[in-house]
A and B are shown apart, each in its own frame.
Chain A
């Protein structure tokens, strides 16, 4: 049995796995609370129940979620993140006697996965991606940075009543971090607050959500961003076919097809589905595939001794609970055999956004190409 690694050693990775019914490969999305119609979020975890502006609060939801009623049990299937700076400049003091209070402190490295996909890429330390923050937070240069151990952001969390038990079993034994110390407070610049939807529900300062909140958080109109979880949706499919020819008649139609046409063939769509481009048996394109040429990252790779270019495409395919925005990165050689290697990844897309533009601009494309290069380099 493989040891659980990377994102599955972090609090967020294990939480996403649980809320996806045990499937880490579906990933998750990050949505600004403001995009869900929430102007401010009260945090009963802290003395005075400070509120954070909705456009600085991130809501992490499982990939298949389309809407959540505020008062329903499904709200617990979210994780809420807020940078300390969202609460102003005063230290954050855990509330005494709160229904669901801060009781644990987790290091940032243990809370969030490293953002890199390629395990052998040159990097310094474990660095969670800024994609966990909202667009406004990034615009205001609020950072998730781990430059020195003593300055690392820490995450006061509330393990609550049952939110963590399902994912972590014995909280004290299995959850990273340490118990809160008496009288401990947190400076905003060094803090990233994490709480589950359960903690939000059970910690309303006024026994209920603010009157300004909608009854339902409808994700369909929001703009979801893929949660940066180190490539958990990535898969690779490799097809080796002989360059069969009899009397000059070529019997291998795949080798004659341009890659864009190849991706729409039945055999290729089944291979892509098996590699994880969708969660159903066959990939049906509803948009694209459109070719893209990222300016960053690698553009060629050596496959079985032959240098060849990486061809990348983005598009939308059908899925079980809704469509997936996908990237496909293809490398091919035509020597003794015709070998096709396709790396795929996917993310939830919202109906309100320009999906294809979002897919072209996302960091996932460059990360996927880097991981594909490392993978191709080790094929034999």
Chain B
């Protein structure tokens, strides 16, 4: 997965994807206050990982890259929230050509 990590300078002026989703979600909740329908919001982290080149220079081998989404409710059950996290696992033994 290509990385889209922002540099510190970029993050000061740009609105990240995660922040935009949250802002729209909040606006929707306010606009529809009192509405009987459940609202939903999604949050997803940016994956953090080592490039293949970095793995080689560090002698670390990738053994897993995966994502997990959990569903929760907020604001007393009035908002459905999905939260997606990313994990990456590296092993020195695999990076050396073993296990």
Mark A residues whose CB is within 8 Å of B.
1-8, 17, 22-25, 117, 119-120, 230-247, 249, 251-252, 271, 274-276, 304-306, 335-339, 341, 371, 374-375, 378-380
Contact = CB atoms under 8 A, between A and B. Distances in A.
A275 B12 CA distance: 33
B17 to A, nearest CB: 9
Contacts of A1: 97
Interface in B40-83: 41, 43-51, 54, 57-61, 63-64, 72, 74-75, 79, 81, 83
9 contacts: A25-B93, A119-B58, A238-B87, A241-B45, A242-B43, A304-B5, A336-B18, A375-B60, A380-B3
Nearest to B88: A238
Given A235-B92, A242-B84, A4 B98 contact: yes
A373 B42 CA distance: 33
Given A119-B58, A271-B87, A378-B57, A251 B64 contact: no
B83 A246 contact: no
Contacts of B44: 242
A21 B9 CA distance: 50
Contact of B48 (A5, A271, A339): A339
B89 A274 contact: yes
A374 B97 contact: no
Contacts of B29: 246-247
Nearest to A239: B87
Interface of B: 3, 5-8, 11, 16, 18-19, 22, 25-26, 29, 41, 43-51, 54, 57-61, 63-64, 72, 74-75, 79, 81, 83-99
Given A239-B87, A242-B85, 5 more contacts: A24-B98, A119-B59, A240-B47, A246-B75, A247-B26
Contact of B96 (A4, A249, A251, A271): A4
Contact of B60 (A236, A306, A341): A236
Nearest to B82: A244
Contacts of B45: 240-242, 337-339
B19 to A, nearest CB: 7
B43 A8 contact: no
Contact of A233 (B48, B81, B89, B93): B93
Contacts of B47: 240
A42 to B, nearest CB: 34
Contact of A25 (B59, B89, B91): B91
A112 to B, nearest CB: 15
Contacts of A8: 96-98
Contacts of A378: 50-51, 54, 57-58
Given A3-B97, A247-B75, A336 B91 contact: no
B90 A236 contact: yes
A6 B18 contact: no
B11 A336 contact: yes
Nearest to B75: A247
B97 A274 contact: no
B46 A234 contact: no
Nearest to B48: A240
A354 B18 CA distance: 48
Nearest to A232: B93
Nearest to A113: B96
